[in-house]
A = this chain, B = another copy of it.
Amino acid sequence: MTASFGDGLDVVYSVTASADAIAARAQDIAIEQTVEVTPALCADPFVATHVVGRVVDIVPAGPDRFDVTLSYAGDVVGDEIPQLFSVVFGNVSLKAGVRVREVRPSPSLVARFPGPRFGISGLRDRLGVHDRPLVMGAVKPLGRTVQELAAFAGAMATGGLDLIKDDHGITDQRFAPFEARVAACAAAVAEANRRTGYRTLYCPTVTGPADRLLSRACFARDAGAGGLLISPLVAGPDFLRAAAAHTGLPVIAHPAMAGAFLASPDHGMAHGVLLGTLMRLAGADMVVFPGWGGRFPLTRDDCGAIDAALKCPLHGVASAMPVPAGGLTLERIDEMRALFGMDVTFLIGSAVYERSSDLAANAAHFRHLAACGRGAR
């Protein structure tokens, strides 16, 4: 056991192993995530001292289970988000019984990553809303025409939702091609904003081909979009940073495919690591995840861990906004506020459409409810 690299990243892995084997397993992970060679081939003094991961701590955490803290040098991670993901869980994902419990970047490592450009306070400034949770709606479903989707977006903006995103699966299908849809929805929201005085942000899905995603993001900005929805585990996690840098817009991370990392209690990544710390470091201003008690199996504790990781002090990195979703209904807003506090964005999909046939009135009701709680109804 040695001291952490002061300029790097400490990662706590929960590892399945016997007491006899854990020291070797910890060393194996340290090598696998950095130099990927047999121990004899990393004996070079420079490599052994400056490159190979260090085993900092091993603590029993249950029967045949240990919390292993490894430290990686800042120079191993460099200043690239993909390499951050590779160092934390690249090769070791292929081994049994390894779950990332916690990621602790050093101040100097954090300085290399931009984090959220807006974060909670920047989003609030842009929206002019400082005294209540935010409310987000979804343009849906896939299969509707450009005109239908734009009408939905305009109605929800008229009702005063703060943000309106596309469903993540509405990309560039022939039902509603990307450019026509984004232009029409952005125009409908802008027109509503002119009438109402609200500052609703329309946030289209820009997940798409790797060589067209940034041009889509720029098209969206030029068409009047106020933010961008990206599925980082589908598009690649670094598209959050890249899209934000190229457009200057807030970026929302969608959790499609993320469940692969979360499903097993003894493998993958903890909810707060993947959807909290890593998405925040990758630049997400807002992170969508399934709230508990909806149509997904996340627990209240899982949601609390994500919330904490998005908001905890992190060497000056801006806090990111939790966006619980996945089957939320209007009746559960108070219960959600009890966990997340005021800094939360409620994403309600179907429920906004279902309350009555007047979508604008439904949206207005939802905005009011988020501001005041159920007593306001």
Chain A residues engaging chain B, CB cutoff 8 angstroms:
28, 32-38, 40-42, 44, 46-47, 50-52, 75-76, 78, 80-83, 85-87, 89-96, 138, 140-144, 167-169, 171-175, 207-211, 213-214, 231, 234-239, 241-242, 245-246, 255-264, 267-269, 290, 295-298, 326, 349-350, 353-354
Contacts and interface: CB of A to CB of B under 8 A. Distances in A.
Given A257-B86, A257-B93, A210 B78 contact: no
Q: Count identical subunits in the complex.
A: 2
Contacts of A87: 169
A82 B259 contact: no
Contact of A142 (B76, B80, B236): B76
Given A37-B140, A44-B143, A143-B47, A83 B171 contact: yes
B172 A209 contact: no
Nearest to A208: B80
For the complex, would chain A's binding face be called helix, strand, loop or mixed by DSSP majority?
A: loop
9 contacts: A37-B140, A41-B350, A47-B142, A85-B257, A89-B257, A93-B259, A95-B296, A209-B242, A260-B260
Given A41-B354, A143-B50, A83 B260 contact: no
Contact of A82 (B92, B208, B296): B208
Contact of A264 (B37, B86, B207, B263): B263
Contacts of A238: 209-210, 235-236
